[in-house]
Amino acid sequence: MAGAKNHDYHILPPSITPILGSFSALIMFFGLVMWMHPEQFAYGSLIFGAGLIAVLYTFYAWWADVVNEAQAGDHTPVVQLHLRYGMIMFIASEVMFFVGWFWAWFDYALFPVPLEIVIDPETHAFTVTNLIGQEGAAALMQWPPKGLEVLDSMKLPLLNTLILLCSGTTVTWAHHALIHGDREGLKKGLWLTILLGLLFSAIQAYEYAVAPFPFGGLNYGTAFYMATGFHGFHVIVGTIFLIVCLVRTYKGHFTPKQHFGFEAAAWYWHFVDVVWLFLFITIYIWGGWGAPVHA
């Protein structure tokens, strides 16, 4: 019969979302550049904010379309397989993103710059002097820099490690409950995973508030905050991902045979878990070895 569907794919309806997302990202980028040069451009922060709002709306609209396609039955086994391939490629790109931060950390650690650090005992302000080429500089080529106090890896960082490991078990519990048709187990596992993710973020925020070193002016602080901060951002994104899955669960969207949205969220959360284990070992334990610990 002419026009009959004889394949496992579906034709997407016309959508303005892709071009809207492209222009939104362009506006956000130019707004960011203008915001960074206030002496030359005005209203940079407002333009950046407008672009950011449009980008967030694009996320919502595009993923809402994907959810509607799934509920309409358009996600056949072949389509689901290719969605999985896409998620695997996305996580692989995220792995390479974090490789950059680990590379920076190892570069600073294995080839340290001779620094003299003086800390004001009253204000805790830093004075950092670069001693490259000066006499006695070799004695200060160490990592962490001499005079710097580090966070105790066996306190808050270890607690956060245990929290993320527990969250990995709860999201796996939720996944197995979904596969076996246990809706209550799915809800409980998701609730516990979300609460553990929020607890992790709260503890990391407190850790940043009490950290004894600044973000700027010191390569140790810059590398530390960039690596752990971007991981914290991914935890927040993963928590939002799981919250969306929880809302969809209460709406009855997932079935034992069709639940790619939840599966993608679970993969992403496990990726966040594994990255944190490498961060904990590399930055907190190995990176602070031999340095005085901040009380």
Same domain, 101 and 41: no
Q: Is the pLDDT of residue 136 over 60?
A: no
Backbone angles phi, psi at 128, to 5 degrees: -115, 125
Q: What is the DSSP string of 78-97?
A: HHHHHHHHHHHHHHHHHHHH
Band of pLDDT at residue 120, cut at 50, 70 and 90: low
> Is residue 192 domain-resident?
yes
Residue 186 and residue 212 in one domain: yes
Do 226 and 277 have their domain in common? yes
* pLDDT 10s digits, 195-215: 999 999 999 999 999 998 888
Indicate whether 104 and 249 sit together in one domain.
yes
Residue 4 belongs to some domain of the structure: no
227 and 179 fall within a common domain: yes
Domain that holds residue 91: 75-111+150-290
Q: Tell whether 120 and 174 lie within a shared domain.
A: no
Query: Considering 148, 173, 208, which residue would you say is the last residue of a domain?
Result: 148
Tell whether 51 and 125 lie within a shared domain: no
Confidence label for 10 from pLDDT (cuts 50, 70 and 90): confident
CATH number of the domain residue 22 falls in: 1.10.287.70
User: How many Cβ atoms from other residues are within 10 Å of residue 286's Cβ?
Assistant: 14
> Last residue of some domain: 148, 166, 195?
148
pTM summary value = 0.88
Q: What are 256's two structure tokens?
A: 């034992």
**Res 128 pLDDT > 80:** no
Q: For residue 135, what pLDDT band results from cuts at 50, 70 and 90?
A: low
Domain end marker among 148, 172, 205: 148
Assigned domain for 1 exists: no
- Evaluate whether residue 59 is within a structural domain: yes
pLDDT in tens, 47-96: 999 999 999 999 999 999 999 988 888 888 888 899 999 999 999 999 99
Averaged pLDDT for residues 134-151 = 74
> Do 80 and 100 fall into the same domain?
yes
pLDDT at res. 114: 66
Query: Does residue 8 form part of some domain?
Result: no
Q: Please check whether residues 171 and 190 belong to one and the same domain.
A: yes
Residue 262 lies in a domain: yes
SS3 (DSSP) at 42: coil
Task: Identify whether 250 is part of a domain.
Answer: yes
| Residue 39 to residue 47: CA distance in whole angstroms | 16
184 and 262 part of one domain: yes
Helix (H) or strand (E) holding 168: helix 156-179
SS3 of the chain: helix, strand, coil, percent, to 5:
65, 5, 30
Domain tally, the chain: 3
The answer to whether residue 117 sits within a structural domain is: yes
